[in-house]
Structure 1
């Protein structure tokens, strides 16, 4: 054998060995789990965060911002579902950008997505701590650390097991939203949507109390209704029949989230009043208290089960950042050790280190 042939043979062996240590569990996730994954990424935003947009743009400003953001995310989901059928890899948006714009474009996109997914669980952990403190009298760093330890441990068991648990938690949170929606319908009054005082800003009216700029100011809060649904393609390498299941997962979760966003936006403010919710840390619970009184099983139920929504988003975004790190590491953008997988085919360092 010539030296050049021997070198090629050794290189191929090294490549096989490299990727053998960096394999995810294929076929572990069906389309229904992908729908659950997409909803779980976002569902915490239905329980808290969106309502601060009422203070920025009034109900009308937040409503217009939500419609704009919903259309943007729907278009993005349709585009990503199309691309994920052609390129079903764990990198998601990073992989698509790399194919389109080259290594630098892929690196910049992957880094931006990674920052989003690495920071989001920390923010959600703070909300979980607040909910735990209101429910059980225990919050702060002990709750934050416990969340990370418990849910990282579950993810280390593998994608299939982790996403099934996540699906159950998400279903429980959806039940809480449905209970809230049904409870608010009889108390809806359209006039309460527009009870925020009208300012002197350009274009200000009862519908847009903060004027035209209020629409722009409300956009970051409208995004809470949909933020991170684009993470579904990160499960591409672990999906069953990704060509069919990824589009179903993305579009299915987007439709569910859009329905929840509009129902919550109309019914919560329409029953309790926009002004009462614009600075609330727990808007759904406060809306129920405003309508039904302080000590009711409805408020207690939504408050308690609302914790499941926060947990679902926290749980799923750990999955998202680990797969993003896995893909960037395997491609050589990050230290290559971060893409090593354990016996359960889970990228253990990518789960733990962030």
Structure 2
């Protein structure tokens, strides 16, 4: 069994500690805010309003409970490996590897889904530009910016996040005069509620919050992680819940849910329906909406690169992926290898499948993280915990149960994607057991 402090001792001193709580809030919201602009609406293609609404509520409760427990882990174990580091401490190297694979799947497959929608929004503004070319172009530009250094990266992320929030406020203000409860169906009979549809919509409810845990992967670059991570994380979760609930209810109150169910640019469509396709408000919003997608794509590139870097340092991945640029202190190879995988997924994957696969990786990681939370609480009661999750163990039990519900639901919603992902996990784990470097 690995001694708990060995992971800490392996952390590289090369990463710059430049981030504060405001930067972390920007990263937390920025990682996720694209979920308000697209992706979540696909839930209405497999479920009615109330089934999907119930899924969103359940997932919001899960993320509140999970975030409080995860913050304790992130503050007490500030490591860029995030969930992989926690599982390594609690479950040994195999547990760390499995958790690392799952969170890597989440963070590697989310960017191409976001890039796809980014291309769709850009094509909406400029129809003469192919959405595929726009997707690849934005992805490439943001990879290059990520190579400039974490301080510049965090500042840019904060700027685009604030701009994206302003865009959502503009959207909500624009639809408010047209809001009517007549678009929201009444529940005339409880028996009409479809649990099958509810389970199938959960992956898209997760998209409202997916990757917020990426804040933990910047932990080694935070000035005072024990104080700043809880502040930034709590503020980020609160902001995201407010935005998700407002966009969900607001959109359902102005259009038929089926009209926006399959679009990569649902909010722009709503505004063009309300104000006309050539209206200034629709075009201004769509332009601002690009910032929301840029914020998430940019932030997740930061997250996956730090994760690959940490997994390399733990010898879960090849050592060259942990090399830092001597000038910018950025894990260049980690940024680039993740981009290659992302470009390949963007070329062959569908947006809904990429969202499902990313959500599946996240749910698996959530369950393992909660198991690690319980183990570390029991095994290391004296470990310094500058922040402790409240209502232990009730809150943690709720997070674990809802995490399992989410995991089963994502598998149920798309068994083929689950088979491919878990098949990859099985092959990778076998390779790790046969040829992985041992301590």
Aligned match of 2:231: 248
Aligned match of 1:130: 120
Q: Is the 8 A contact 1:30 1:239 kept in 2?
A: yes
> Which runs of structure 2 are paired with 1:181-192 in the superposition (5 Å)?
181-192=172-183
Question: How far is 1:278 from its partner?
Answer: 2.2
Q: Is the 8 A contact 1:269 1:277 kept in 2?
A: no
> Which runs of structure 2 are paired with 1:156-167 in the superposition (5 Å)?
156-167=147-158
Q: Normalising to structure 2: TM-score of the pair?
A: 0.71
Q: Is the 8 A contact 1:34 1:232 kept in 2?
A: yes
Whole-Å separation in 2 of the counterparts to 1:24 and 1:85? 17
Superposition misfits of 4+ residues, deviation over 6 angstroms = none
Helix, strand or coil: the match of 1:24?
Answer: coil
Q: Normalising to structure 1: TM-score of the pair?
A: 0.88
Question: How far is 1:19 from its partner?
Answer: 6.8
Aligned match of 1:11: none
Whole-Å separation in 2 of the counterparts to 1:348 and 1:260? 34
Whole-Å separation in 1 of the counterparts to 2:65 and 2:172? 27
2:55 corresponds to 1:65: yes
Which of 184, 188, 198 is the equivalent residue of 1:215? 198
Q: Is the 8 A contact 2:121 2:264 kept in 1?
A: no
Which of 53-62 and 101-110 deviates more?
A: 53-62
Computing the radius of gyration over CA atoms, which structure comes out larger, 1 or 2? 1
Aligned match of 1:203: 191
The number of residues matched between the two structures is: 328
Question: How far is 1:249 from its partner?
Answer: 1.4
Q: Is the 8 A contact 2:80 2:306 kept in 1?
A: yes
Which of 296-305 and 138-147 deviates more?
A: 138-147
Question: How far is 1:273 from its partner?
Answer: 2.5
Aligned-residue RMSD, C-alpha:
2.0
Residues 98 and 148 from structure 1, CA distance in 2 versus in 1: closer, same or farther, beyond 3 angstroms? same
Question: How far is 1:302 from its partner?
Answer: 1.4
Question: How far is 1:178 from its partner?
Answer: 0.2
2:38 corresponds to 1:38: no
Question: Please, which runs of 5 or more residues in structure 1 have no aligned partner?
Answer: 1-15
Whole-Å separation in 1 of the counterparts to 2:163 and 2:190? 43
Residues 19 and 214 from structure 1, CA distance in 2 versus in 1: closer, same or farther, beyond 3 angstroms? closer
Which of 125, 130, 133 is the equivalent residue of 1:139? 130
> Which runs of structure 2 are paired with 1:1-354 in the superposition (5 Å)?
23-26=14-17, 28-136=18-126, 137-194=128-185, 203-204=191-192, 208=193, 211-342=194-325, 343-354=327-338
Residues 278 and 142 from structure 1, CA distance in 2 versus in 1: closer, same or farther, beyond 3 angstroms? closer
Residues 56 and 179 from structure 1, CA distance in 2 versus in 1: closer, same or farther, beyond 3 angstroms? same
Whole-Å separation in 1 of the counterparts to 2:266 and 2:255? 9
Whole-Å separation in 1 of the counterparts to 2:269 and 2:180? 17
Whole-Å separation in 2 of the counterparts to 1:99 and 1:19? 14
Whole-Å separation in 2 of the counterparts to 1:270 and 1:90? 41
Whole-Å separation in 2 of the counterparts to 1:217 and 1:172? 32
Aligned match of 2:397: none
Whole-Å separation in 1 of the counterparts to 2:322 and 2:261? 43
Residues 195 and 275 from structure 1, CA distance in 2 versus in 1: closer, same or farther, beyond 3 angstroms? farther
- Deviations for 1:161-192, whole angstroms, at most 9, x for unmatched residues? 11101111111111110011111222211120
Helix, strand or coil: the match of 1:203?
Answer: helix
